[in-house]
Amino acid sequence: NATPLVAQLLLDGNRLFAEHRWTSAIIKYEEAVQAQPTLAEAHYNLGMALYKKGPVSAARPHFIEAADLAPGHPVIWNAPPFRKYGTVESNTPTEAPDGHFGHQH
């Protein structure tokens, strides 16, 4: 569970993310990660914002940390940006249910 401060940072970050203000959202999510480093949602949201802003490689550690902190969490483990990186154990691309490997046609 997020502390009240972190919950507010995530709400602010989510609003900025929805407005496509990636850099500002990243700042809020980074503050949330610093304040509560064991919160999977904070790492996941930071990963999503970094994924949108680029470079995509900057997002990878946060997706992996979110997955490690929330084993089996359906949103984290099934999100297309995370699937692109494959499983944490194998670190090889895995085929998505649509038959693509992290890309769309």
pLDDT of residue 96: 45
- 66's torsion region: left (phi>0), alpha (psi -120 to 50) or beta? alpha
CATH number of the structural domain spanning residue 23: 1.25.40.10
Please indicate, yes or no, if residue 29 is contained in any of the structural domains.
yes
pTM confidence score: 0.76
Average pLDDT over every residue of 86-104: 43
Please indicate, yes or no, if residue 15 is contained in any of the structural domains.
yes
C-alpha dihedral, 18 to 87 to 91 to 60, nearest 10°: 20
Please indicate, yes or no, if residue 32 is contained in any of the structural domains.
yes
pLDDT of residue 31: 98
pLDDT of residue 81: 66
Please indicate, yes or no, if residue 93 is contained in any of the structural domains.
no
Please indicate, yes or no, if residue 92 is contained in any of the structural domains.
no
Residue predicted with more confidence, 1 or 24: 24
What's the structural domain count of the chain? Answer: 1
Please indicate, yes or no, if residue 20 is contained in any of the structural domains.
yes
Please report which confidence band the pLDDT of residue 93 belongs to, taking 50, 70 and 90 as the band edges: very low
Residues 4-55: pLDDT tens digits?
Answer: 999 999 999 999 999 999 999 999 999 999 999 999 999 999 999 999 999 8
Residues 48-90: pLDDT tens digits?
Answer: 999 999 988 899 899 989 999 998 888 888 776 666 655 444 3
pLDDT of residue 62: 93
Alpha-carbon distances of 17 from 8, 30, 46, 66, 74, rounded to whole Å: 14, 13, 10, 18, 21
